[in-house]
Chains A and B, each alone.
Chain A
């Protein structure tokens, strides 16, 4: 059974602090690793798609790294702002399936 694990489940961070969280995924049959940002009452929005071992992607204050050999990805947020409060989902895709983790719920304290 393919499993995608995210940790921690939830995180409270002071505004201005930097933070990171983890996505673990199967290291076999790997096609891509996706990160999504999901705000309450909205639908998930794609942040990054990464396919190559060692990939690093950046969008503003948010960046992500990928290690396909050991099966993990980190998402980093630098200088957290209240608008960063959301659930961050990762998803592993193989040739025929996309499997989501259960997300890390991030809350930023002003």
Chain B
């Protein structure tokens, strides 16, 4: 079954404590990205990756890091989380950035930074 998985699904943490949210896909997709969703602001792209070892900043990359060492995984790293990073995070994948390709979303990770 085609899947995008994220872990953890829920996390409450404190300011400054490094954390990683994992994203994994089993569809051999080239393109992966991270979004955050905040009320009234829609989905905003944090980082994206066109392929292995190729990552680029989205619209709101400050305070985040990513890596793409292998095709299936695209972890999101918060080195020193702050309360303004409290949000709902979605990982998404698509075969490529070609026009017709549909994007598939993971189940979301709700992060609270105290």
Contact = CB atoms under 8 A, between A and B. Distances in A.
Chain B binds chain A: yes
A31 B42 contact: no
A32 B41 contact: no
Interface stretch (A12-20, A42-50, A69-77, A78-86): A42-50
Contact of A31 (B33, B45, B97, B108): B97
A100 B45 CA distance: 9
Interface residues of A, number: 22
Interface stretch (B14-22, B60-68, B69-77, B98-106): B98-106
Contact of A89 (B43, B56, B59, B104): B43
A46 B102 contact: yes
- How big is the B interface, by class? 20 to 34
Contact of B100 (A49, A97, A103): A49
Given A89-B43, A98-B33, A43 B97 contact: no
Most buried by B among A44, A51, A95, A103: A44
A15 to B, nearest CB: 27
A99 B11 CA distance: 27
Give the secondary structure class of B's interface.
Answer: loop
B102 A43 contact: no
Interface in A52-100: 89, 91, 93, 95-100
Contacts of B99: 31-32, 49, 51, 93
B54 to A, nearest CB: 11
Most buried by A among B43, B90, B98, B104: B43
A98 B45 contact: yes
Interface of A: 31-32, 34, 42-46, 49, 51, 89, 91, 93, 95-103
